[in-house]
């Protein structure tokens, strides 16, 4: 695989007609994350999805260049932000949800099972009262729920596996599938975090691949590929079914599970993970300041293999 890509990239995937959103993908090079703007071309109302709050994990300092870049695109295209959305509590980057809510006035949301994920991590951090998703998100979506971006309908698909509470946002012919699939030449995402499950990941991906063949699938990450240096994040259901190296048509479930688990067993924890979950499970907020006015994070020792 190529080395991590280190320059920001922005691409527009235009609406294909009535009921189809405009989508901008904004690549964040430090974590290989893709941030999205999903907009209704009829009303210019928009949702921001999985936007990054930049975090220097070596010096434990924060900055907002990625969020600022996203908001600049919003302004340049005359959009109004209605929703700030996350697909799951991220382990490899920090969510800008709370900051975006403050700057835009939009509602923020995540999947309802984030409450179950919060219980797992409250135990791992020994912080029993730290996380309250009902407090920190305006909406917690259940499987099958719908809402609107402008005049566009959005449906929630529960997509566990990477985490137990990951969700997919399906808006017309666009689906934001987060850390389930990666690009076809890479395959799929890991399923070994606390609450993750490889069998559930397989089942979630199969549900996603039953969407119409021309559905545009927008993934959560890209790190380059064996034969490319440019980041990619969009491919259709049909392209994944024909070419995804882990789950293309004809792949056996047992074969996928074995391959995914063997690969996951070689992977270290993401470098930002133990900071990220404490903040992301607070909706992108730091822990309360202590008596000296500073914020502190807690690190579990000897809790992970």
pLDDT at 15 over 90: yes
Tokens standing for 142? 């259940």
pLDDT in tens, 173-219: 999 999 999 999 999 999 999 999 999 999 999 999 999 999 999 99
Q: Which residues pair with 84 in a beta bridge?
A: 48, 108
Q: Which two tokens stand for residue 115?
A: 């409450």
Average pLDDT in the chain:
95
The pLDDT value given to residue 6: 56
Q: What is the pLDDT of residues 255-305, one digit of tens each?
A: 999 999 999 999 999 999 999 999 999 999 999 999 999 999 999 999 987
Q: CA–CA separation, 77 vs 148, rounded Å?
A: 20
Got the DSSP string for 160-186? -SSSTT-EEEEETTEEEEETSB--TTT
Spell out the domains of the chain, with CATH numbers in brackets. Answer: 9-280 (3.60.15.10)
């Amino acid at each position: 695989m190529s080395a991590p890509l280190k320059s920001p990239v922005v691409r527009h995937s235009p609406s294909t007609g009535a009921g189809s959103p405009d989508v901008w993908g904004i690549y964040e090079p430090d974590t290989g994350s893709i941030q999205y703007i999903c907009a209704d071309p009829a009303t210019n109302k928009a949702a921001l999805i999985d936007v990054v709050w930049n975090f220097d994990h070596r010096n434990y300092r924060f900055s907002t260049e990625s969020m600022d870049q996203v908001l600049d695109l919003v302004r340049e295209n005359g959009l109004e932000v209605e929703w700030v959305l996350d697909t799951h509590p991220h382990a490899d980057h920090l969510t800008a949800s709370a900051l975006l809510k403050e700057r835009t006035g939009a509602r923020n949301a995540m999947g309802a099972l984030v409450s179950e994920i919060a219980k797992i991590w409250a135990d791992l951090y020994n912080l029993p009262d730290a996380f309250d998703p009902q407090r920190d998100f305006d909406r917690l979506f259940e499987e099958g729920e719908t809402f609107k971006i402008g005049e566009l309908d959005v449906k929630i698909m529960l997509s566990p596996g990477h985490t137990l509470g990951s969700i997919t946002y399906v808006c017309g012919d666009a689906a934001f599938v987060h850390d389930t699939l990666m690009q076809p030449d890479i395959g799929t995402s890991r399923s070994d975090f606390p609450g993750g499950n490889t069998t559930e990941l397989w089942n979630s991906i199969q549900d996603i691949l039953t969407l119409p063949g021309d559905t545009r699938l927008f993934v959560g990450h890209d790190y380059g590929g064996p034969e490319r240096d440019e980041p990619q994040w969009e491919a259709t259901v049909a392209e994944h079914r024909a070419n995804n190296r882990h789950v293309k048509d004809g792949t056996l479930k047992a074969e996928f599970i074995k391959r995914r688990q063997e690969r996951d067993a070689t992977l270290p924890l993401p470098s930002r993970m133990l900071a990220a979950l404490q903040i992301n499970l607070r909706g992108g907020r730091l822990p309360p300041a202590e008596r000296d006015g500073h914020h502190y994070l807690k690190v579990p020792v000897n809790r992970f293999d």
